[in-house]
Chains A and B, each alone.
Chain A
Amino acid sequence: MKFYLPIILSLLFSSCAALKTDTAQLYDAYNKLSQEVKNGEIVLNRSEYFTTNYLKEVNPNDKNSLLLLKLSNYIYKDVSHYQIFNNNMGCLSINGIDKNNEPLSLHVEYNKKNDAWLVNYVFLSFIENRSAYTKEAICPRDVEKSILDKMQ
């Protein structure tokens, strides 16, 4: 048993490491994007963070269209985050607070292209209290459908 214990432990830790790497991918991509927005470089480097489809609505010469690139700015502080993956698609849900300490949830759909996770769709939800924070990753189109159904 003594002989097998290091092997078992090593397998256990390596699988944990692999899991951590996988689940951190979207959150890491989000943090990198968020930092780029804060640094004021997002307009210049937008193609590194967003899909071509998402960028169709962005005109660098129209400052009103740049909100699409800067939605991460709404989150002043992260509280929790969740991620799900389906092949080359993934969704990240972030709960946080804005600058006025009010809660919000950001749901981001990512597409994987050339090993980079690119934002393809976003749903930002200004919620009324923290009890409404999402407790799992939900893709933005599913959040949208659920709200539209309630609005009918």
Chain B
Amino acid sequence: MNPTRTELKITIAKLVEVAYSKDKGLATKIVRAKGSFKLTVDQNGDARLSGKMGAITFSGSETLDKIGANIKFVNVSFSNGGSSNIKYTAMIDIKSAKIAISGSFDIEKLITSCSGLLCRAARALKGRHHAYDMELQRIMEH
């Protein structure tokens, strides 16, 4: 089964969430700052959320492995126009092919979802968590 558009959007949300869980304070500053910020995952699974307020490095392997499509690189560019609505364009590299996906989401809702019980439960399970995925889907496909 090919990963769906929704699964790819959820993956982007989860990568932001992993950065947030590593350094809540700095991640909040990066995503709330007006302007652009980036999220990258390289071929070793090393991920980085960076913006003008700083950068957070973390592992993106586990998140990418879950969609199981041998994704090599992910490059996401986010744009914060000053409201909580964040626009993004993502380029996903599977070597001989690339997939682009774009959209927008409410960063406040994403942060709120990940400070709650649902997000902690999802992390504790370390696997697929249906309710958590549904919550992220609702945010990414508002």
- Determine if chain A interacts with chain B: yes
- On chain A, the residues within 8 Å of B94 by CB distance are 57, 67-68
**Interface stretch of the complex, out of B16-24, B69-77, B119-127:** B69-77
A-B contact count (CB 8 A): 76
Count of A interface residues, CB-CB < 8 Å = 34
Q: Which residue of the partner chain B has the closest CB to A144?
A: B98
Count of B interface residues, CB-CB < 8 Å = 22
Query: Could you tell me the distance between the alpha carbons of A124 and B94 in the complex, rounded to whole angstroms?
Result: 11
**Interface stretch of the complex, out of B2-10, B51-59, B106-114, B128-136:** B2-10
Query: Could you mark each residue 85-118 of chain B with 1 if its beta carbon is under 8 Å from any beta carbon of chain A, else 0?
Result: 0000101001111111111000000000000000
Q: Which residue of the partner chain B has the closest CB to A63?
A: B68
- On chain B, the residues within 8 Å of A56 by CB distance are 95-96
Q: Which residue of the partner chain B has the closest CB to A74?
A: B2
- Take A53-B96, A123-B100 as given contacts and tell me if A150 and B89 are in contact as well, using a CB distance cutoff of 8 Å: yes
- On chain A, the residues within 8 Å of B3 by CB distance are 67
| A64 part of interface (Cβ distance < 8 Å) | yes
| A5 part of interface (Cβ distance < 8 Å) | no
Shortest beta-carbon distance from A54 to chain B in Å: 4
Assess the B98–A65 pair: CB atoms within 8 A: no
| A81 part of interface (Cβ distance < 8 Å) | no
Assess the A71–B100 pair: CB atoms within 8 A: no
Which residues in chain A, 11-59, are within 8 Å of chain B measured between CB atoms? 53-54, 56-57
Q: Which residue of the partner chain B has the closest CB to A73?
A: B2
- On chain A, the residues within 8 Å of B2 by CB distance are 67, 70-71, 73-74
- On chain A, the residues within 8 Å of B4 by CB distance are 98
Assess the A122–B102 pair: CB atoms within 8 A: no
Residue of B75, B89, B100, B101 with most chain A CB atoms under a 10 A cut-off: B100
- On chain B, the residues within 8 Å of A128 by CB distance are 102-103
Shortest beta-carbon distance from B87 to chain A in Å: 10
- On chain B, the residues within 8 Å of A68 by CB distance are 94-97
Query: Could you tell me the distance between the alpha carbons of A57 and B73 in the complex, rounded to whole angstroms?
Result: 14
Within 8 Å by CB of B91, from A71, A127, A148, lies A148
- On chain A, the residues within 8 Å of B96 by CB distance are 53-54, 56-57, 68, 120-122
- On chain B, the residues within 8 Å of A126 by CB distance are 5, 8, 99-102
Query: Which residues of A does B touch, CB under 8 Å?
Result: 53-54, 56-57, 62-65, 67-68, 70-71, 73-74, 98, 100, 102, 104, 120-128, 140, 143-144, 147-148, 150-151
Q: Please give me the 6 A-B residue pairs with the lowest Cβ-Cβ distance, nearest first.
A: A151-B77, A122-B97, A57-B95, A126-B101, A54-B96, A64-B70
Query: Which residues of B does A touch, CB under 8 Å?
Result: 2-5, 8, 68-70, 75, 77, 89, 91, 94-103
17 other contacts beyond A67-B70, A122-B98, A140-B98, with CB at 8 A cut-off? Answer: A53-B96, A56-B96, A57-B95, A64-B68, A67-B69, A71-B97, A73-B2, A98-B4, A98-B5, A120-B96, A123-B97, A124-B99, A124-B100, A126-B8, A126-B100, A143-B100, A144-B98
